[in-house]
Chains A and B, each alone.
Chain A
Amino acid sequence: MSQYRVSGKGRVDLSKKINFTFEGKSYTGGQGDTVASALLSHGVHLMGRSFKYHRPRGAVAAGSEEPNALIGTRRGPGRFEPNTRATVQDIYEGLQTNAQNKYPSLKFDVGAVNDAAYMLFSAGFYYKTFMWPRSFWDKVYEPFIRAAAGLGVSPTEEDPDHYASRNLHIDVLVVGAGPTGIAAAKAASAEGLSVVIVDENREIGGTLLSEPQAVIDGIPAWAWIEQELAALKAQGVKVMTRTTAIGYYNDNLVGLVQKLTDHLPSLPADTPRERMWRVRAGQVVLAQGALEKPLVFHGNDRPGVMLAGSAQTFLNRYGVLVGKRPVVLTAHDSAWYAAFDLADAGAKVQAIVDVRDGVSEALIAGARDRNIPVRLSYTATATKGRLRVKSLRVNRMQGGTVGAAEEISCDAVLMSGGWTPSLHLFSHTKGKLAWDDDRTTFLPEMTPEDCVIAGASRGLWGIEAALNDGAEKGRAVAAALGKAGNAVSYTVAEDRTGSGVSMKELPTDLSPGKAKAFVDYQNDVTAKDLRLAVREGMRSIEHVKRYTTNGMATDQGKMSNINGLNIASDALGRKQPQVGLTTFRPPYTPTSFGAFAGYHRGSHFEVTRKTQIDAWAEENGAVFEPVSQWRRAWYFPKGGESMDDAVRRECATTRKSLGIFDASTLGKIEVVGPDAVEFMNRMYTNPWTKLGVGKCRYGLLCGDDGFIRDDGVIGRLGQDKFHVTTTTGGAARVLNMMEDYLQTEWPDLNVWLTSTTEEWSTIALNGPNAAKLLQPFTDVTLTEENFPHMSCVECEVAGMPARLFRVSFTGEIGFEVNVPAPMGRQLWETLWEAGQQYGITAYGTETMHVLRAEKGYIIVGQDTDGTVTPYDAGMGWAVGKAKPDFVGKRGLARPDLVAEGRKQLVGLVTEDGSKLEEGAQIVFDASQPIPMKMVGHVTSSYDVGTTDQPIALALVEGGHSRMGETVFIPMPDRTISAKITGTIFVDPDNAKLKIPASAENKGVAA
């Protein structure tokens, strides 16, 4: 057995020997040990270095509030994490751990030179210096500060583990499975109420695990835990350990993180590392207990100086004596019991030093029975020792003055500054706190959530009080849910209730200005820093906190907040509530990113929408691009073609013969009902009344501000039925906008809207041979006369029910065939097969973009940007000016939208034949100095299409009246001249849109 392990004490199973390493050295422990308890069992207190002064530090606590003992933990490749609290990390066979923030070694750290310059590095020192010379901040000072700061090092590899998330809807959630929580869960779990109780520790019991002497209703504490655990399970209560309630969100949503593998020696297959539970509970009982406060005095951070309650935990839960010659320093009765427990376990307690001038006779007797010297009305003024405390300097207090010093030799100092309720989750609810002067602490008052707070977390001390309050609150939440709840009451023997006083920093005879009396250990904030902040005008606790960084370390002030507040309020001469309490913020303890991300990683980060034809594209070598949630085939390179070459070939083949394109991502909305045409008239800028059944029209949608929102071809399939298409990214937005106007502005209209985007696969055929290819598959006669451009019909294509549109986004003869989505690939392959005789090409979005630009068709979002009107885009023809109203009509009449000099869409052709860059800015005067007066920008630009020279579309100030003028595009290396042209570069007469008579084929009989 290791040197500091006490036989017969604790819950660690030493028969299962576990090896792990710390700083490269091997140690052993037992099943149930944390890294901290195992190291302490070997007498190792030095576990880390502090943030600013690199002072040697050991564990000061035994739980999740630990600020000092932060270590790096590793198991194999990819599984490293910094800043793990040694007090909560279980050991397992093969665990590798390291200390942090030290160079070259933990025992000799050159960074500790900062400690010598302590007086210089006072609170906020960096605000006052490092300003000269100016350039040194970026190059010298900041890199220096950054390198010195930080704690551990970041992981450097991708995380091989996976994480899960679950939703849970229950009646009652109990947070904390100490005596309060257990009693609450038991009382609440009645009449079929679903109850969950969670605890961050590996087993339930809370403080009872550290107080085995207590006897509850005649049963020893640990036996009682076993009994209650069985009873809770029998009552159907779900008991979740290693599960931390991290945050309390609106309407009783509590986030829980359950740790599943960080304690296991080998990782089970298919088990997530952590699981996030989003629990929606009818009622929540908060039973998070209380946290012990340190005492604030010079040298209170030396390894071996520890919270008394934590020393008691190490002894009673882990069977480890944190020192063989400890001295106890306290302002609260509770630490006396720590002294008694350690003495009973064989430690030679050097003294109990209490700041108070009197304590109960029972305590005095207890000390006397164990031959522990007692010093009442004493203060502590220093510790000695380099890597471990060697002695405590104490002074008698008389009439408010600090008397002569004496040194007590020791190997540990167990301190207690009293207890503060854990109000973290209560605080997340925006619950109100009230200051309790007697107990010098904040207590919960009221919360907007359906939540009660019980036991020590509302200031009740002692196990019996906690149990009975828990039982009462458990019944109360059951009652709130309309059930009776279980009536339970408890009697506890050997209960160690007590009281104490709350201190600011301890009085001293040494210069308080030079004292290193730590309040926030991890951030190296001392009492002197807090007083300096106040001296410098920081009057709110938030200012004090931010100026000194008190409470901003990874423990989020669990140990430092109240001590800091007491000192700041003393410095200000104001009561604590007037100084304020900083807000506790989620998460309760630091929580892995992985737990939040859950399943949403890699390909599951966000859904990828794929069309029915996507797989064909993938099989045929398509390169894809993400477009909103969709992935779309971008181009289809053949045999090592570059993107440009592929697009050039796709464009040429389509213009010359035939191209096939998957247009399924286009948004589709069916507008149906007796008032459908009136609805369309009001929504879109165009007039719809005269559009015949079986005809299509290009529709333009504006917002009520007059700017273009979306566009698409709309077919009238019946008097009361429109097939509306939208942009790929705009589908949901357009439907939402339509529903908004229909439901809330025009509820009188009898119209139904249905999203049919996913219902149809849409295949576009374009090119001179498009009609020839399609004709054999349909009995619609595809002639110019019978089915001219901008026609639509419900029919059959290749035996599939179809909506056939004669539309073109290329300027060629074009069809869009919509068939029921699952048939999409079949039709695609049928057409692809038949198209071989025409040398058909599949083309992607890039070719689609080029071909449409050559015809001057805009892409909303590329050639428009939310500040462009239909008139700006040269589409005044699409505005039904005679209509009394439509969405956007009034907006279009606003002063700036009718002003001169608006940016208008034009074509650009460069004078030197070079390709313009999309996004390039345009000026009228290229010789002006910077900043230049910019008059527009290039919205689309291509040199891989079918035109002789590169083409571009651009928005140019007053562009429509500047045809033929030259503008300039200043690039970093040169200025390009370009001539303003119309937007149509290919076939301005639309001759190619027509199906030539010679090519007409009669429909085949069905």
Chain B
Amino acid sequence: MLLIHCPYCNETLPELEYAYAGEAHIARPANPSEVSDEEWAEFLFMRSNVKGIHYERWRHLHGCGRFFNAVRDTVSDKFLTTYEAGAPRPDLDTLVNTPAEGGK
């Protein structure tokens, strides 16, 4: 069971409080009617499914209820960081070279 840091509550809590919400930084097209079927399928279904550093979303379901983003290594399952929804992707180089705030 993972330990996850909620960037809104600023607390590290067990996975049972959270719901996974899929890959992060997949924005719904601003004007869906203008995108092609391929682009819509890409938005709906295609996922990078990374083995390694993965940008993903979680919801603090049994806490503040907020959706937030996380960077996690899908091999070790260790979180590198978590950050608020809407914030840009954190810089990976910085992350890998500094200790995690999510987890411990």
* A and B found bound together: yes
Interface residues of chain A, those whose CB is within 8 Å of chain B, are: 249-251, 253, 278, 280, 430, 448, 450, 704-705, 736, 739-740, 743-745, 747, 884-885, 889-891, 893-895
Q: Does B97 contact A (CB under 8 A)?
A: no
Rounded to whole angstroms, the CA-CA distance of A705 and B40 in the bound complex is 9
Rounded to whole angstroms, the CA-CA distance of A278 and B14 in the bound complex is 12
Instruction: Determine whether the beta carbon of A743 is less than 8 Å from that of B37.
Output: no
Rounded to whole angstroms, the CA-CA distance of A807 and B12 in the bound complex is 46
B17 to chain A, nearest CB (A): 13
List the A side residues contacting B85 at CB < 8 Å: 743-744, 747
List the A side residues contacting B77 at CB < 8 Å: 250
Instruction: Determine whether the beta carbon of A890 is less than 8 Å from that of B35.
Output: yes
Shortest 4 CB-CB contacts between residues of A and residues of B = A890-B32, A251-B3, A743-B67, A448-B76
Instruction: Determine whether the beta carbon of B78 is less than 8 Å from that of A448.
Output: yes
List the B side residues contacting A704 at CB < 8 Å: 28, 32, 43-44
List the B side residues contacting A885 at CB < 8 Å: 31-33
B36 to chain A, nearest CB (A): 10
List the A side residues contacting B44 at CB < 8 Å: 704-705, 891
The closest CB in chain A to the CB of B24 belongs to: A744
The closest CB in chain B to the CB of A167 belongs to: B14
The closest CB in chain B to the CB of A755 belongs to: B65
Q: Does B92 contact A (CB under 8 A)?
A: no
Instruction: Determine whether the beta carbon of A249 is less than 8 Å from that of B1.
Output: yes
Instruction: Determine whether the beta carbon of B67 is less than 8 Å from that of A894.
Output: no
A867 to chain B, nearest CB (A): 15
Instruction: Determine whether the beta carbon of B2 is less than 8 Å from that of A250.
Output: yes
List the B side residues contacting A890 at CB < 8 Å: 29, 32-33, 35, 40
* 16 interchain pairs, CB-CB under 8 A: A250-B2, A251-B3, A278-B1, A448-B78, A739-B67, A743-B66, A744-B67, A744-B85, A744-B86, A747-B85, A747-B86, A890-B33, A890-B35, A891-B40, A891-B44, A894-B40
List the B side residues contacting A253 at CB < 8 Å: 1
Instruction: Determine whether the beta carbon of B59 is less than 8 Å from that of A745.
Output: no
The closest CB in chain B to the CB of A282 belongs to: B104
Q: Does B19 contact A (CB under 8 A)?
A: yes
Instruction: Determine whether the beta carbon of B33 is less than 8 Å from that of A889.
Output: yes
List the B side residues contacting A251 at CB < 8 Å: 1-3, 103
List the B side residues contacting A745 at CB < 8 Å: 27-28
List the B side residues contacting A747 at CB < 8 Å: 85-86
Instruction: Determine whether the beta carbon of A736 is less than 8 Å from that of B33.
Output: no
Rounded to whole angstroms, the CA-CA distance of A278 and B27 in the bound complex is 38
A18 to chain B, nearest CB (A): 41
Instruction: Determine whether the beta carbon of A430 is less than 8 Å from that of B3.
Output: no
A555 to chain B, nearest CB (A): 27
Rounded to whole angstroms, the CA-CA distance of A448 and B72 in the bound complex is 14
List the B side residues contacting A889 at CB < 8 Å: 32-33
| Interface residues as binary, B38-73 with A (CB distance below 8 Å gives 1, 0 otherwise) | 001001100000000000010101000111000000
B82 to chain A, nearest CB (A): 14
List the B side residues contacting A430 at CB < 8 Å: 76
List the B side residues contacting A736 at CB < 8 Å: 19, 59, 61
B77 to chain A, nearest CB (A): 5
List the B side residues contacting A884 at CB < 8 Å: 31, 33
Q: Does B9 contact A (CB under 8 A)?
A: no
Q: Does B95 contact A (CB under 8 A)?
A: no
List the B side residues contacting A743 at CB < 8 Å: 66-67, 85
Instruction: Determine whether the beta carbon of A744 is less than 8 Å from that of B76.
Output: no
List the A side residues contacting B103 at CB < 8 Å: 251
Interface residues of chain B, those whose CB is within 8 Å of chain A, are: 1-3, 14, 19, 21, 27-29, 31-33, 35, 37, 40, 43-44, 57, 59, 61, 65-67, 76-78, 85-86, 103-104
Rounded to whole angstroms, the CA-CA distance of A450 and B104 in the bound complex is 10
Instruction: Determine whether the beta carbon of A744 is less than 8 Å from that of B40.
Output: no
Rounded to whole angstroms, the CA-CA distance of A280 and B3 in the bound complex is 10
List the B side residues contacting A739 at CB < 8 Å: 59, 65, 67
B72 to chain A, nearest CB (A): 11
The closest CB in chain A to the CB of B79 belongs to: A251
Our pick among B14, B37, B65, B104 for the contact of A894 (Cβ within 8 Å) is: B37
A733 to chain B, nearest CB (A): 11
The closest CB in chain A to the CB of B14 belongs to: A280
List the B side residues contacting A891 at CB < 8 Å: 40, 44
List the B side residues contacting A894 at CB < 8 Å: 37, 40
Q: A450-B104, A736-B19 are in contact. List 20 more A-B contacts (CB 8 A).
A: A250-B1, A250-B3, A280-B3, A448-B78, A704-B32, A736-B61, A740-B67, A743-B66, A744-B57, A744-B67, A744-B86, A884-B31, A884-B33, A885-B31, A889-B32, A889-B33, A891-B44, A894-B37, A894-B40, A895-B37
List the B side residues contacting A744 at CB < 8 Å: 57, 67, 85-86
Rounded to whole angstroms, the CA-CA distance of A704 and B28 in the bound complex is 10
Instruction: Determine whether the beta carbon of B31 is less than 8 Å from that of A740.
Output: no
List the B side residues contacting A250 at CB < 8 Å: 1-3, 77
Rounded to whole angstroms, the CA-CA distance of A765 and B39 in the bound complex is 48
The closest CB in chain A to the CB of B73 belongs to: A448
B100 to chain A, nearest CB (A): 11
A608 to chain B, nearest CB (A): 19
List the A side residues contacting B61 at CB < 8 Å: 736
Rounded to whole angstroms, the CA-CA distance of A884 and B14 in the bound complex is 41
List the A side residues contacting B28 at CB < 8 Å: 704, 745
List the A side residues contacting B40 at CB < 8 Å: 890-891, 894
List the A side residues contacting B65 at CB < 8 Å: 739
B32 to chain A, nearest CB (A): 4
Rounded to whole angstroms, the CA-CA distance of A249 and B14 in the bound complex is 12
B12 to chain A, nearest CB (A): 9
List the A side residues contacting B33 at CB < 8 Å: 884-885, 889-890, 893
Instruction: Determine whether the beta carbon of B21 is less than 8 Å from that of A740.
Output: yes
A312 to chain B, nearest CB (A): 40
Rounded to whole angstroms, the CA-CA distance of A740 and B65 in the bound complex is 10
The closest CB in chain B to the CB of A890 belongs to: B32
The closest CB in chain B to the CB of A893 belongs to: B33
Rounded to whole angstroms, the CA-CA distance of A747 and B43 in the bound complex is 19
Rounded to whole angstroms, the CA-CA distance of A448 and B78 in the bound complex is 8
Rounded to whole angstroms, the CA-CA distance of A747 and B84 in the bound complex is 12
Centre residue among B27, B31, B44 by max chain A CB count within 10 A: B44
Rounded to whole angstroms, the CA-CA distance of A705 and B45 in the bound complex is 10
Rounded to whole angstroms, the CA-CA distance of A345 and B33 in the bound complex is 90
The closest CB in chain A to the CB of B26 belongs to: A744
The closest CB in chain A to the CB of B34 belongs to: A890
A290 to chain B, nearest CB (A): 28
B43 to chain A, nearest CB (A): 8
Centre residue among A249, A890, A893 by max chain B CB count within 10 A: A890
B78 to chain A, nearest CB (A): 6
The closest CB in chain B to the CB of A448 belongs to: B76
List the B side residues contacting A448 at CB < 8 Å: 76, 78
Rounded to whole angstroms, the CA-CA distance of A448 and B76 in the bound complex is 7
Rounded to whole angstroms, the CA-CA distance of A309 and B44 in the bound complex is 62
Rounded to whole angstroms, the CA-CA distance of A893 and B35 in the bound complex is 11
Centre residue among A249, A251, A278 by max chain B CB count within 10 A: A251
B16 to chain A, nearest CB (A): 10
A637 to chain B, nearest CB (A): 39
B19 to chain A, nearest CB (A): 7
List the A side residues contacting B31 at CB < 8 Å: 884-885
Centre residue among B21, B40, B78 by max chain A CB count within 10 A: B40
List the A side residues contacting B78 at CB < 8 Å: 448
B52 to chain A, nearest CB (A): 14
Centre residue among B19, B66, B67, B104 by max chain A CB count within 10 A: B67
Rounded to whole angstroms, the CA-CA distance of A893 and B32 in the bound complex is 10
Rounded to whole angstroms, the CA-CA distance of A736 and B18 in the bound complex is 12
Rounded to whole angstroms, the CA-CA distance of A884 and B34 in the bound complex is 11
B61 to chain A, nearest CB (A): 8
Rounded to whole angstroms, the CA-CA distance of A740 and B37 in the bound complex is 23
Rounded to whole angstroms, the CA-CA distance of A885 and B40 in the bound complex is 14
Rounded to whole angstroms, the CA-CA distance of A739 and B2 in the bound complex is 23
Rounded to whole angstroms, the CA-CA distance of A894 and B104 in the bound complex is 46
The closest CB in chain A to the CB of B45 belongs to: A705
The closest CB in chain B to the CB of A741 belongs to: B28
Rounded to whole angstroms, the CA-CA distance of A889 and B2 in the bound complex is 37
